[in-house]
A and B are shown apart, each in its own frame.
Chain A
Amino acid sequence: MSDDLAIEVRNLVRVFESRKGFFFGEKNRTEALKGVELLVGRGTIFGLLGPNGAGKTTLTKILSTLLLPTTGTVRVLGHDVVEEASWLRPRIGLVLGGERGLYNRINARENLRYFADLYGIPPVERDRRITEVLERVDLTWAGDRRVEEYSRGMKQKLHIARGILHRPEILFLDEPTIGLDPKSARETRKLVRSLVVDGVTIFLTTHYMFEAEELCPQVAVLSKGRIVANDTIGGLRQRVGGDRTIEVEAYGFEDRELSLLRGLPGVSHVTGEEFGPRMRLTLRVRTWETTPEQVGLLLPGHPELSVRERRTSLEDVYLDLVEEEAN
């Protein structure tokens, strides 16, 4: 155990067992986390990236004492999440976000007041603090409105307001920008960034590499219950290194053509993606030997074939990592 660590996860496994079907006779077993190791320092924004079903929410809930690990040890702020949950709970802020998790029939202030009381904020401080956090998330104008009248972006801000109400030392944000329009998402990211200034450690999950890149000095990629990368943004960028990306688009490709492309010198990844009638292949290339012209020559007879080279982005690195794990 180390004091400068906000999060310390060792060999964490989480299994869900659920029953369904007639008289719950069928048993389902899902291994959501398969031996996660993770260390996060204090006072930063740490980003956990991963596709749907990777286990991000499961990990977030375990870290915030809402779910027990099946095996492994998990410490937050130096304290065990199972044995010392009652020490941790007042020091943790949790934002699961989305449309749910608020009392819709009452106004925002009343929602905050209720949770302030559950967090043991003294009454003399409570109302001032509620005004403060509403100001902080830019909802002062809507504080007396019923939550059912809130837009999704406003609800997300209110979730965050509730998360920081008791001045937690560590704040967990599960996909804070999911379902928000670009403007609200940008505002939310700005808000998140402003929170670290207070010395709070933030652990956030996201689907988007650009979001992690914008907010998090350090990121980990979770795929199918395993951490497949844990690095600084700079470190991840180095993985891109001299890599180049060639994109090929046409109305579908044959398997034979795919293996031809895979066989080209220096090609490390070929991923495909369909949009409408068209299909796009993305080639990650490690050397200069393979050029867009050569690729074009290998694919004769395609009407409206387009081949272009572009800069490899961090998003590409992320997709490669997740793809690798899937294969």
Chain B
Amino acid sequence: MALATTHASRSRATGASLRLSILLFVADPQWLVPSTIAPIVFGLVSFELFRNAGPYFLTYAILGAGMMSMWGQTLYGSGWATGADRQLGTLEPTIQAPTPYLYVVLGRIIWNVVAGLFGGGVVYVVVVLAAGGPPSLPNPLLFVVLFVFVMVTLAAVGVVFAAAFVYSRYAGFIQNIGEFAFYVGTGCMFPVVLLPFWTNPIALLFPPTWALDALRYASIPGYTGFGWGFGWDLLGAVATTAVYASIAGGVFTRVERHVLEVGDLSDY
């Protein structure tokens, strides 16, 4: 048969990987517990934190807590699947197959973004229930467009983190730092102005930081955020996402070469 990989077969591999993620989830839905509890806690805490922050605090609270749970899910999920492959011994046959591993990762990221959306939904419900009603949105259409864009930026980060997990079995360490830098640096946990500036630069390396700030500009009248305005936020988000997307292929090629040199595709 000896089939070369074509665009069609690559997208089929991504589809197969998405399908596998769903099947594995259905076979063992236990992670539903942490991924429901975390958003509930995030939602309640941020409601308490921001309830005196002005008339639009509700949107701020939902976006902050929602992003925290979506970010956690995307990062955690994308890296975790590769770690699981290593432990199961399935990373070797997967890498040996002709489709580049990147396309397998893409399928998982799609699943994790969807799963993250579930967490975002939980946050929304929790905060709305706590506040006694939904927030008002000045521009719902722009909100939806930017929200979808935020998910794209999350996916871009997920790909790079997944590469880190292929590269090294110790990638969890980097992931935890990234997760914390994001929570704090984006003002999801505390408003940005309360924090020293040095916490921000790390967060600015992540496209979702920029996209989230743009989303806040669009949905919270009077929002100042990082202070440089909606246009720069959007530009920063597009630019960082473009960088992530353009290096993803190259990163995976290098990472694969590295693991084939070191020979640690499998945990024993």
By beta carbon, the residue of chain B nearest A123 is: B12
Interfacial chain A residues near B144, Cβ < 8 Å: none
Interfacial chain B residues near A98, Cβ < 8 Å: 89
A195 to chain B, nearest CB (A): 15
Interface string of A68-86 (1 = CB under 8 A from B): 1000000000000000001
- Report whether B90 and A120 are in contact in the complex, using a CB–CB cutoff of 8 Å: no
Q: Is A251 in the interface zone, CB < 8 Å from B?
A: no
B257 to chain A, nearest CB (A): 8
Q: Is A115 in the interface zone, CB < 8 Å from B?
A: yes
- Report whether B6 and A114 are in contact in the complex, using a CB–CB cutoff of 8 Å: no
Q: Is B95 in the interface zone, CB < 8 Å from A?
A: yes
Interface size of B in residues (CB-CB distance below 8 Å): 36
A80 to chain B, nearest CB (A): 14
B64 to chain A, nearest CB (A): 35
Q: Is A39 in the interface zone, CB < 8 Å from B?
A: no
Interfacial chain B residues near A310, Cβ < 8 Å: none
- Report whether B92 and A101 are in contact in the complex, using a CB–CB cutoff of 8 Å: yes
Assuming the A-B contacts A117-B13, A120-B99, A123-B12, are A101 and B3 also in contact, with contact meaning beta carbons closer than 8 angstroms in the complex?
Answer: no
- Report whether A67 and B260 are in contact in the complex, using a CB–CB cutoff of 8 Å: yes
Q: Is B145 in the interface zone, CB < 8 Å from A?
A: no
- Report whether A66 and B90 are in contact in the complex, using a CB–CB cutoff of 8 Å: no
How big is the A interface, by class? 35 or more
B110 to chain A, nearest CB (A): 15
By beta carbon, the residue of chain A nearest B85 is: A103
Most-contacted residue by chain B among A89, A120, A166 (CB, 10 A):
A120
Complex Cα spacing A225 to B224, Å = 66
Interfacial chain A residues near B13, Cβ < 8 Å: 117-118, 120
Can you list 27 A-B pairs with a CB-CB distance of less than 8 A?
A66-B96, A86-B5, A90-B4, A90-B98, A96-B92, A100-B90, A101-B88, A103-B24, A103-B90, A105-B27, A110-B20, A110-B23, A115-B93, A117-B9, A117-B99, A118-B16, A118-B98, A118-B99, A119-B98, A120-B4, A120-B5, A120-B6, A120-B13, A121-B1, A121-B3, A122-B3, A167-B1
